[in-house]
Each structure stands twice: as structure tokens, then as C-alpha cells.
């Protein structure tokens, strides 16, 4: 007897005994989509980059980067000439979401200026970083912020891939919901725009890494000894020996007069 595990996509068996035909077809379609989008991204990279540079020159509100938190900048792909300026702004870490052909500043140039560089290559337009890569980036930002160091997160235009990382950081470490984080970032950088897959990644990350539970002062543990309980009638402490301690959880409540 054999046991077949069915995936989300139903496996099929033909006359020739081939399994998973539908699944293989979906994988091929997904790969073809990735290749097609990748080719388009390469073709459009420099035209769209020049368009962004042009708008930055003529529109004061079209900024190359924006401060979204005390130690966090979100923006577009930096040029080599921008490295010194970033250093002056206190940037000590850069997260690059670009693929190699989109990257204009080398890791060696960042390091020469005392800037740590985390590279998470992510295809443009329709794709998002993996949950594990998002976690690496969020930890990178948090580690820097905890030491008073600023991190610059960028993709090509500072709209989708890099925004995905920033939203996840705000969800985990600023106790924001995904929706409130997006609204807040839009107030700082109005042109951010997430693809459906990128928003889905933010929602999934928020479920996987919830912020730590906030301590409630109404649930305080008080250590007491047997001597503290003398005069009280309770069967719960009959086994308590001299000098031993126990923990009492206090719950506040109202007493009607």
C-alpha cells in the first residue's frame, strides 16, 4: 500500500504513470513569468531611472529619499556620488533590494566609507523578498537603530520592494498594523506603491513575527513566605515548609459596597 500526499494543486496520474502534471505546468508558467518580467525590468531600468532623475531635478517634492523614522531612510537607488552625502546624514547601513544590473554602488565603496551593506536581490515590479530575507533586513535595521545608527533602505525608485521591508520593520518594532504602517509611510513618501505580492508578504510577515506582548501592570507577581500567610485559612499552603516561597498572581477587582 502506498500513501500519496496531495499538495494544494491536485496531482494527476496519466496512462504513462506521470504524477503532478498540473503542478509542473504551473511551475513552468511561474518561471516563464519571472523570466519575462526580468527581461522587461532590464529593458526599462535606465529609461525609468532617467525619468526619476529628471523629476527629482524639476519637482522639489519628488525627493530621492525620505526619513520615515528617526534612524530609517527610504528611497531610490543611490549613485556613487551619494555615498558621502549618506555618510553625512549618519547612515551606517544600507539595504539594497536591487538585482545586480540595477546596483550602482559597490559593497566595497560602502565599506570604504564605514557603511555596512546588506544585499537582498529581488526582482522588480511583481515580486517581493522572501519572509526569511525580510526578517534579515528587519533585524539589520533594528540592530542599527538600537545603537543610534541610521539605515538606508532602497530599491530602484523607493516605491515597492524597499517599502515592503520598511513596513515590516514598523509592524514588528513600532507596533503598527500593516494598514496603519502603509498609511504612515505614504504620509512620509507619497509615491510608494506595493504590488499585490509585496502587500501579501507584509501581511504574512505580520502573522509570523508579532511584536512582543506589552507588559500589563495589572498582572504582578508577588513573592511571599509562609509567615506572610499566618492568620489566613487556606488549604492551598498545607504542603508549604518553613522558609519556602510561593508565587501569588494578583488580579484587581472591584468590591461593591
Catalytic residues: 155
168: left (phi over 0), alpha (psi -120 to 50) or beta: alpha
Does an H or E element contain 114, and which? none
Interatomic CA distance for residues 42 and 159, integer angstroms: 17
CB contact set of 65 (below 8 Å; sequence gap of 6+): 73, 74, 75, 76, 152, 154, 158
Contact status, residue 123 vs residue 38, Cβ threshold 8 Å: yes
165-185 burial code (b ≥16 CB/10 A, e <16)? bbbbbbbbbeebebeebbebb
Three cell numbers, residue 236: 492551598
Amino acid at each position: 500500500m502506498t500513501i500519496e500526499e496531495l499538495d494544494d494543486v491536485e496531482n494527476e496520474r496519466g496512462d504513462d504513470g506521470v504524477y503532478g502534471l498540473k503542478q509542473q505546468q504551473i511551475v513552468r508558467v511561474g518561471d516563464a513569468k519571472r523570466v519575462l518580467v526580468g527581461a522587461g525590468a532590464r529593458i526599462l531600468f535606465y529609461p525609468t531611472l532617467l525619468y526619476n532623475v529628471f523629476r527629482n531635478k524639476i519637482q522639489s517634492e519628488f525627493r530621492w529619499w525620505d526619513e520615515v523614522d528617526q534612524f530609517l531612510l527610504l528611497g531610490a537607488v543611490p549613485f556613487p556620488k551619494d555615498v558621502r552625502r549618506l555618510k553625512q546624514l549618519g547612515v551606517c547601513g544600507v539595504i539594497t533590494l536591487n538585482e545586480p544590473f540595477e546596483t550602482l554602488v559597490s559593497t566595497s565603496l560602502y565599506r570604504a566609507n564605514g557603511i555596512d551593506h546588506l544585499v537582498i536581490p529581488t526582482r522588480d515590479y511583481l515580486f517581493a523578498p522572501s519572509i526569511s530575507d525580510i526578517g534579515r533586513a528587519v533585524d539589520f535595521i533594528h540592530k542599527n537603530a538600537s545603537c543610534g545608527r541610521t539605515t538606508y533602505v532602497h530599491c530602484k525608485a523607493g516605491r515597492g520592494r524597499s517599502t515592503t521591508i520598511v513596513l515590516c520593520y514598523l509592524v514588528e518594532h513600532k507596533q503598527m498594523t500593516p494598514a496603519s504602517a502603509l498609511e504612515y509611510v505614504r504620509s512620509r513618501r507619497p509615491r510608494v506603491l506595493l504590488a499585490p505580492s509585496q502587500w501579501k508578504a507584509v501581511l504574512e510577515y505580520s502573522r509570523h513575527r508579532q511584536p512582543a506582548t506589552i507588559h500589563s501592570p495589572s498582572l504582578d507577581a508577588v513573592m511571599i513566605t509562609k509567615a506572610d500567610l499566618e492568620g489566613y485559612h487556606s488549604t492551598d499552603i498545607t504542603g508549604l515548609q518553613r522558609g519556602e516561597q510561593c508565587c501569588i498572581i494578583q488580579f484587581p477587582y472591584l468590591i461593591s459596597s
